[in-house]
Amino acid sequence: MAKILIIDDEKNIRDGIKKSLEYEGYEVATAENGDKGIDLVYKGGIDLVITDLKMPEKTGEEFLKDVLDFDKHIPVIILTGHGNVETAVDMMRLGAYDFMTKPFNLDKMLLIIARALESKNIKKTNETLEKRVDYHESFYGMIGRSSKMLKVYEAIKQVARTKATVLIEGESGTGKELVANAIHQISDRAKQPYITVNCAALSEGVLESELFGHEKGAFTGAIDKKIGRFEAANKGTIFLDEIGEINQTVQVKLLRVLEERVIEHVGSNTPINVDIRVIAATNKKLSEEIKTGKFREDLYYRLNVIKIEMPPLRDRREDIPILIDNFIKEFSAVHSIEIKSVDKKVYKILSSLQWEGNVRELRNMIETMVVMSRDGKIEESNIPDWALKSDKEIFSVDKDLTLEELEKKYVNYLLSRNNFNKAQVSKILGIERATLYRKLKDYSD
């Protein structure tokens, strides 16, 4: 479990947070000022810091700089009292992960901690992959050399230098968040804030306040003014993940942001101008959500200025061996397990599966296989039984497929069921092998 450092000159606050976090299973260290806090950080082992904004001896800004200079991956959450919200926002622009006003809500703190630790792990993983993988195999953490992925890379490079709003569509686990991060990193806003919001993780009431902020007294529990994520992202980029989950009220407000780059706090009519790049992602087909009345058509067209579609893993199977190798390297290092060899059957079998969970599912499976390997070997027996469920699946047909789409799906199904033996598939289909090759080439264009 992660180790968290609490810094506050008030003993009751330190001890209160410590007790609550330990109850949740976290390991907790405490310090009464920034100097003692940074000493603990330098000793190593700290995964996240929660610190008061105003501290004796060392200012919050000085402490934040020292932490990020030591390890830029350590998330820092700022605790601030009344009247210091603007300073806390400035701290976020300097690199703090988030801030909370006192008195704080414990459930909200736990949610922020969980998000911060997850974000930290993703960033470290991405950097590890970029260092270990040849540029032609990795693009800002995305791994693959298939034609479909090369098209994604080109789209990212082309759109990144513009101010255009981007909509990323794709199934869960395809890497939509990596696309958004790459766009920001390549853009001229790279040194400005990059704020992410998982719209599906927040309740309807909380989401509106998180995005737009609120005034003191705007609703029960609003004991102080709150700066929203759009303001925190000013001059930078905001990434709205799972945009298909937002309700109609938030959709209307978001439409105004996209049209005018103006927001209003909950409980206020005062317009606030924001300079932001908006990137949204969804695993839903928003065009279908419009038909059922769940998503506004006008908002969809505002979001869909540039669309980037992330292909499912089963549509870029040639990338699977590359992904397998890199995940083996990653988890060998994480778990200090030396993998000396991988049975060729492993590549063949894993390349034939359907991967409904996409790259995320493959990554999780490879970690299991590395941990369960023996004598430095990964063999067919290391593949979990549940992973082979696709061998028992039957061919299913989606509604409203064109004849060409149906043919493509059936051919890919036969290939996966026959370990990509094109001669066997040609025989099943009753066509020449050259005809099958031509069809496969047409599918990939």
Task: Compute the average pLDDT of residues 279-298.
Answer: 93
3-state secondary structure the chain: CCEEEEECCCHHHHHHHHHHHHHCCCEEEEECCHHHHHHHHHHCCCCEEEEECCCCCCCHHHHHHHHHHHCCCCCEEEEECCCCHHHHHHHHHHCCCEEEECCCCHHHHHHHHHHHHHHHHHHHHHHHHHHHCCCCCEECCEECCCHHHHHHHHHHHHHHCCCCCEEEECCCCCCHHHHHHHHHHHCCCCCCCEEEEEHHHCCHHHHHHHHHCECCCCCCCCCCCECCHHHHCCCCEEEEECHHHCCHHHHHHHHHHHHHCEECCECCCCCEECCCEEEEEECCCHHHHHHCCCCCHHHHHHHCCEEEECCCHHHCHHHHHHHHHHHHHHHHHHHCCCCCEECHHHHHHHHHCCCCCHHHHHHHHHHHHHHCCECCEECHHHCCHHHHHHHHCCCCCCCCCCHHHHHHHHHHHHHHHCCCCHHHHHHHHCCCHHHHHHHHHHHHC
Which residue matches tokens 């790049």?
277
Question: What is residue 187's predicted lDDT score, i.e. its pLDDT?
Answer: 94
Picking from 21-25, 136-140, 213-217, which range would have the lowest pLDDT averaged per residue? 136-140
Q: How far is CA 89 from CA 79, 140, 188, 233, in A?
A: 11, 28, 21, 10
CB atoms near residue 244 (< 10 Å): 19
Segment 56-68, tens digit of pLDDT = 777 777 888 889 8
Segment 378-435, tens digit of pLDDT = 999 999 877 775 444 545 666 677 888 788 888 887 776 665 777 777 777 878 877 8
CB atoms near residue 384 (< 10 Å): 12
Residues in the chain: 445
Question: What is residue 17's predicted lDDT score, i.e. its pLDDT?
Answer: 93
Q: Are residues 371 and 331 in contact, defined by beta-carbon separation less than 8 angstroms?
A: yes
Task: Compute the average pLDDT of residues 217-231.
Answer: 83
Handedness of CA 410, 413, 419, 420 (dihedral sign): positive
The token pair at 217 is 């007294």
Q: Are strands 194-198 and 306-309 parallel, antiparallel or unpaired?
A: unpaired
Task: Compute the average pLDDT of residues 90-119.
Answer: 85
Segment 298-323, tens digit of pLDDT = 999 999 999 999 999 999 999 999 99
Percent of the chain with pLDDT over 70: 92
Question: What is residue 115's predicted lDDT score, i.e. its pLDDT?
Answer: 86
